[in-house]
Amino acid sequence: MQDVINKINELANGLGDISLMEVCGGHTNVILKYGIRKILPSNIKLLSGPGCPVCVTSQKEIDSIIEMALNGIKIVSYGDMVRVPGTKMSLEGARGKGADVKIIDSASQALNYKDHVFFGIGFETTAPMTAYLLKKGLNVFSAHRLLKPAMKVLLEGEIRIDGFIMPGHVSVITGADEWKELNVPQVISGFTPELVMVSICKLLELIKNKQNIVVNNYDEAVLPQGNIAAKNMIKEQLKPVDAEWRGFGMIKSSALEPVNDQQNARIIYVDIIKNVKTDIDTACRCGDVVKGLCSPHECPLFGDECSPQMPRGACMVSDEGACRITYVYER
């Protein structure tokens, strides 16, 4: 590993200020847990991006699913989503008021609750499981997101990004070729500290050589074409739609909803959710965190009014949220 660190220092010496973004919350976890930012030369900056699906789910979607629960609609979802603060309360709070909200660890467990609406969440990694549940006849409120449209927005946005550490798990599904059109230096990485460091080194080499290509540093799991069966399952059951992202606003063709309207909870329960009022917590900077515009430490709520025990923002809830990870390892 020392050889890799030496190589990074050598490359950084001739590059000037460089900003790299890790797109996956799993990489943020590794970077902070092992102090990788502190190892890097001072001119190499790592930014955390929108790689936490819980964090980028819009406030309107959170409030809508809570409103459904309070109106007697049975909900089943992963544990992270239950604690995300809505305008009035969380799903956990709704459950405390008598709402039927079941928590599962895997999508297959949702088959035990076929009379519930499944609150689907995640990027391309978890979308195949939601597609499977749709095929089994469950109704779904989908908050699934597609990562590439958001990355395009980032490249046109307020901060300079010189290269991306690309998400390994998402790339297992999409394939390495999915990212070519971004036309920026990219390295797909696994999730050990060694792989992340090697990926950073490879990124700096691409930047030095002015190569806007994708390098697969996780080829034991990621194929050029991805998982064809999983992609076909998504295409069969889910369709791309425009969607609002926390911090980003509306992004075209960046989300997935059921192909069958009769299984789409947004349509089935439109009368319940059409008048939902959402208030954005202006003190919370979660929207800026997921865009790399600020670090968790720069949010005035971080660590005091917002903690994993009492979260004010979505980024403090999920294990992939930059605020929660920073709280655990760098508070």
The per-residue pLDDT for range 56-91, each reduced to its tens digit, is 999 999 999 999 999 999 999 999 899 999 999 999
* Domain presence at residue 155: no
Provide the CB-side half-sphere exposure for 268 (13 A, CA): 19
Contact 321, 55 (CB under 8 A): yes
Count the domains in the chain.
3
The per-residue pLDDT for range 114-172, each reduced to its tens digit, is 999 999 999 999 999 999 999 999 999 999 999 999 999 999 988 899 999 999 999 99
Could you tell me the residue range of the domain that residue 298 belongs to? Answer: 286-330
Query: Does residue 319 share a domain with residue 255?
Result: no
* Domain presence at residue 154: no
Contact 190, 176 (CB under 8 A): no
* Domain presence at residue 152: no
Residue 299 has pLDDT above 90, yes or no: yes
Query: Which residues make Cβ contacts (< 8 Å) with residue 107, sequence separation at least 6?
Result: 118, 126, 129, 130, 132, 133
pTM score of the predicted model = 0.94
Q: DSSP characters for 202-219?
A: HHHHHHHTT---EEEE-T
The per-residue pLDDT for range 189-225, each reduced to its tens digit, is 999 999 999 999 999 999 999 999 999 999 999 999 9
Euclidean distance between CA atoms 31 and 29, whole angstroms: 6
Query: Does residue 139 share a domain with residue 72?
Result: yes
